[in-house]
Chain A
Amino acid sequence: MMVTLQLFAQDNGVEMADSLRSNGKIYVVVICIVIILAGLLAYLFSIDKRLKKIEKENYTNK
């Protein structure tokens, strides 16, 4: 009861995703986004690594 009162005290009438955050479900979204980003960045690192290998081969062939 006290918590909700405090929440209302903070609220200036603008609707925000308070319940989403208090239910904890927002973490699911954050985790998904982080996994996608981390996956893409890891992929970028692997492309970089492969490119480095090709560059080395090219350099020694010449």
Chain B
Amino acid sequence: MHKTWWKILGSVLVIYTAIAGLMLGVPRLPILNETIRNLYFHVPMWFAMIVLFSISVFYSVKSLSTKSEIDDMKAVESVNAGIIFGLLGLITGAIWAKFTWGQFWSFDPKQNFAAISILLYFAYLILRNAIDEEQKRAKISAIYNIFAFPMMVVLLFVLPRLKDSLHPGNGGNPGFNSYDLDSRMRMVFYPACLGWILIGYWVYTIRFRIRTIENKQQHN
């Protein structure tokens, strides 16, 4: 994973989306107007977060069987990196909401549940800090993480659909489907998601490598 080609690919894709996302044509829709371009920047944050949390839950499961400290560290650091993207997603969502729904925080189900799912992962980090003994900490937090992940998925993708939400794709709001299928937007949206996922993964590997060195120094 010390190869650099995917880091360059991620950088190029992200820069491409900044240019193409602002310059290329988008559908003309009322209320949204030019803010439709936020799709290229707001949504990939959540994709990056979900990928990082998936990596985390994978290593949590693995650490339960291998009892390896490295797997445990990978699980924590991917949550640490994922939370940043989650917070950025919440903030950009609130700003977008201000200019389309009228308020930064309208207690929309999607917003509330997204905030709760971030809190779930804050709880994960706090839980870890509360336990001093390393093996116990690894085991308990891994089990917590395995429960937190499906909860996050349900909170983000299932519950908002059962309620009336302003967010597209939820509660009787077909929303984005009409222009998600627009080929012009796909040209930017998919590269944006891939690019930000790669950048997120990169941040996670940097965090993990720093932690490995810190860990080694502590043991010496």
Report which A residues bind B (CB closer than 8 A).
11-12, 14-17, 26, 29-30, 33-34, 37-38, 41, 44-45, 47-48, 51-52, 54-55, 58, 62
| CB proximity of B212 to chain A, nearest CB, Å | 8
Contacts of B33 in A (CB 8 A): 14-17
User: B67 interface residue, CB < 8 Å from A?
Assistant: no
Beta-carbon contact of B14 and A37 below 8 Å: yes
A54 contact set on B, CB distance < 8 A: 213
A62–B216 Cα distance when bound, in Å, is: 10
Main secondary structure of the interface of A (DSSP, over half): helix
Q: Using a CB-CB cutoff of 8 Å, which residues 202-220 of chain B contact chain A?
A: 202-203, 206, 209-210, 213, 216
Check if B66 is an interface residue, CB within 8 A of chain A.
Answer: no
A-B pair count, CB < 8 Å, reads 54
| Chain B interface mostly | helix
Contact among A11, A17, A44, A55 for B34, CB-based, below 8 A: A17
B23 contact set on A, CB distance < 8 A: 26, 30
**B29: A residues at CB distance < 8 A:** 14
B interface, CB within 8 angstroms of A: 2, 7, 11, 14-15, 18-19, 22-23, 28-30, 33-34, 199, 202-203, 206, 209-210, 213, 216
Q: Report Cα–Cα, A38/B12, bound state, in Å.
A: 9
Closest to A47 in B: B206
- Given A37-B14, A41-B15, 7 more A-B residue pairs with CB atoms under 8 Å apart are A15-B33, A16-B28, A34-B18, A37-B15, A41-B199, A55-B209, A62-B216
